[in-house]
Each structure stands twice: as structure tokens, then as C-alpha cells.
């Protein structure tokens, strides 16, 4: 009897400790969620703020612009295709009663980047920047036109750097803002016939992570959005369809943007929408490189 009583008395502190630990975890989670909401760039604002979205004429950019207009942001839509931009601007202004501006520009050129920098400088309410403009290039490096490689570097890296630098001072002064750099799951899996694309997307992820640390506590959030297979025009022109991937691997752009916005609200710097893709991104750190190279070569050879 005494032994039984002693065991019960001994177990009591253990379970009290477990309960206290669980309580502390829950309390910390609640505190972090509350703090995330208080500093979220998506929280309501008394003034009408502006979002600038590049690559807004289709796919991820178009859906991101639509979601931000739905949340009350005025939007500046940047892409090369004037007719599509103007049609989208008219639609967003009509449906969500926001100011929507079409700004045709080719961000693979200095003139195009300068035009958007001027728009940022003349708009003192920029609080959201989505660096989404980009294109795919599926070709062996030695066979591809060097001008295409250089255009990709200018578009993915040079334009992102300059537009981020242009938008940041105003966001920091307001102590509120968000910058989303659209990277790719391929930043974790550099593969055959995508050398420049994968490396520029790796840059965007690393740049976002470093900038995230610099801006901690400033009220400005940064995210690298790393989607997997999303049904957009980019995937169509990148010969991904030739692989005949199963439907369950594909994600609608609306789902990818919903995941990005949730992660931005929770202040997660790396956003990989979709549980399966998050597992793949995590696995990339432990997969032997020789296996990754073999898989990447087999995958890439199916696209060229």
C-alpha cells in the first residue's frame, strides 16, 4: 500500500511539470499569434495603402493583385502586356472599388526598371511589393542564347534588388510593409537544364532570408514564396506539361497565394505552400547530393 502511494506521489510532480510545459507552449503560441496580428501588414488601416505587383498580367501575379485589391489595397500592376494589364485594372477597380493602375514595363531592361522606380518614388503609400515577374528557361546552358540568360538575371535579380531598395525607405518610415519575392521550390532542387533559373531563384530565397534578419522589429516583413508546380503560363512555356505529371501534384495559383498570405501573417520568411511541397523542401537538406543530382538529371531530361 505504501509503495503504491509513494508511486502516486512521485508521479504527481511529473504530470504537474508536463501540464506547466504544455501551458507555457500554448501561452507562447497565443502571444506570438497576437503579436503577429498586431504587426501584420494585412491588418486593416485607416489610410488606403498601395500594393505594387510585378508580373501581374497572369498567373501568380494576377491572383496576388486580386487578393490584395480584395483586402482594400490600391494596386499598381506591372507587366509587359498593356492590354491585359488595363483589362485587369478596370476589373479590380470595378469589383473592389480601389484605384488600379496599369504600368506596362519590361523589367529585364534598365528603362523598364527605372519607370517602376519612378512610380514608387511618386507614390507615398506603397506598403506591399510583390516581386513576381519572371520567366522560365529549360535548355542546356551551353546551348542557350546568352542574351536569354542575362535577361533572366536582370529580371529575377537586378529588378528585385532595385525595386526593393526603392520601396523600403517608405515602408520603414511608416513602420509597416511587406515584400514578397517569388522564388521557387527549385531553389531547393537545382536541376538539369535549369541552371540559370534555379540559381536566380536560390538568390531570391537567400536575399529574402538575409533581409528578413535586417528588418526584424522594423514593422516590415519579407517573404520568399517558393511554390511547387502551379498551373500558370510559366509552367506551360517551360515544357513541364511534357512530363505528364499527375493532377495531384499541381496547385492552383489561388491556393499558392492563400498559403503565402497565411505565412506572411504569421511572419514566416520561407513560404512553401502545400504540405507535400513543404516536406520536399525539408527533405532537400538531408537527401544525399549524389541522389539529388541523379533525380534532377532524370527529371530535367524529360523536359528538353
Residues 23 and 151 in one domain: no
The per-residue pLDDT for range 241-260, each reduced to its tens digit, is 545 666 767 899 999 999 99
Residues 141 and 253 in one domain: yes
CA distances from 133 to 86, 107, 157 (A): 17, 8, 10
- Residue 89 contacts by C-beta under 8 Å, 6 or more apart in sequence? 75, 77, 100, 101, 102
Query: What's the pTM value of the predicted model, to 2 decimals?
Result: 0.85
| Catalytic status, residue 212 | no
Residues 102 and 33 in one domain: no
| Least-confidence region, from 15-19, 25-29, 217-221 | 25-29
Helices (H), ranges, 39-158: 59-70, 82-96, 110-121, 146-153
The mean pLDDT value for 161-165 works out to 98
Give the integer Cα–Cα distance in Å for 90 and 102. Answer: 9
Residue 83 confidence (pLDDT) = 95
CA distances from 66 to 6, 52, 188 (A): 65, 12, 28
280: cell is 520536399
> What is the extent of the structural domain holding 10?
1-38
Q: Are 261 and 51 in contact (CB under 8 A)?
A: no
Confidence at 136, pLDDT banded by 50, 70, 90: confident
Confidence at 117, pLDDT banded by 50, 70, 90: very high
H-helix or E-strand containing 220? strand 220-225
Q: Are 33 and 112 in contact (CB under 8 A)?
A: no
The per-residue pLDDT for range 38-60, each reduced to its tens digit, is 678 888 777 889 999 999 999 99
Residues 31 and 104 in one domain: no
Residue 29 confidence (pLDDT) = 60
Residues 187 and 284 in one domain: yes
CB atoms within 10 A of CB 211: 17
The mean pLDDT value for 12-27 works out to 70
Burial of 153 per CB tally in 10 Å (0-12, 13-18, 19+)? middle
Residues 33 and 66 in one domain: no
Give the integer Cα–Cα distance in Å for 300 and 139. Answer: 9
| Residue 288 belongs to a domain | yes
- Which one of the listed residues 64, 189, 197, 277 is annotated catalytic? 197
Taking alpha carbons only, the member of 152, 198, 153, 203 closest to residue 292 is: 198
Residues 104 and 4 in one domain: no
Look up the CATH number of the domain holding residue 144: 3.40.50.720
Domains: count for the chain: 2
Residues 91 and 116 in one domain: yes
Amino acid at each position: 500500500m505504501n509503495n503504491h502511494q509513494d508511486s502516486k506521489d512521485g508521479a504527481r510532480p511529473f504530470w504537474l511539470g508536463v501540464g506547466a510545459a504544455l501551458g507555457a507552449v500554448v501561452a507562447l503560441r497565443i502571444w506570438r499569434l497576437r503579436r503577429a496580428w498586431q504587426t501584420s501588414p494585412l491588418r486593416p488601416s485607416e489610410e488606403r495603402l498601395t500594393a505594387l505587383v510585378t508580373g501581374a498580367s497572369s498567373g501568380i501575379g494576377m491572383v496576388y493583385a486580386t487578393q490584395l485589391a480584395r483586402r482594400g489595397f490600391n494596386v499598381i500592376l506591372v507587366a509587359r502586356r498593356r492590354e491585359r494589364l488595363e483589362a485587369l485594372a478596370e476589373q479590380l477597380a470595378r469589383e473592389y472599388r480601389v484605384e488600379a493602375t496599369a504600368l506596362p514595363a519590361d523589367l529585364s531592361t534598365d528603362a523598364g526598371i527605372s519607370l517602376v522606380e519612378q512610380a514608387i518614388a511618386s507614390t507615398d503609400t506603397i506598403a506591399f511589393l510583390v516581386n513576381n515577374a519572371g520567366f522560365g528557361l529549360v535548355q542546356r546552358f551551353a546551348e542557350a542564347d546568352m542574351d536569354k540568360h542575362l535577361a533572366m538575371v536582370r529580371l529575377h535579380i537586378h529588378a528585385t534588388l532595385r525595386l526593393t531598395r526603392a520601396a523600403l525607405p517608405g515602408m520603414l518610415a511608416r513602420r509597416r510593409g511587406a515584400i514578397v519575392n517569388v522564388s521557387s521550390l527549385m531553389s531547393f532542387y537545382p536541376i538539369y537544364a535549369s541552371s540559370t533559373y534555379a540559381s536566380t531563384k536560390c538568390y531570391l530565397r537567400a536575399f529574402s532570408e538575409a533581409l528578413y534578419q535586417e528588418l526584424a522589429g522594423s514593422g516590415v516583413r519579407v517573404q520568399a514564396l517558393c511554390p511547387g508546380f502551379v498551373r500558370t503560363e510559366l509552367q506551360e512555356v517551360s515544357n513541364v506539361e511534357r512530363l505528364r505529371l499527375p493532377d495531384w501534384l499541381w496547385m492552383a495559383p489561388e491556393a499558392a497565394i492563400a498559403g503565402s498570405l497565411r505565412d506572411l501573417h504569421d511572419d514566416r520568411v520561407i513560404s512553401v505552400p502545400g504540405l507535400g511541397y513543404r516536406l520536399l523542401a525539408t527533405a532537400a537538406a538531408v537527401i544525399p547530393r549524389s541522389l539529388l543530382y541523379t533525380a534532377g538529371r532524370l527529371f530535367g531530361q524529360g523536359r528538353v
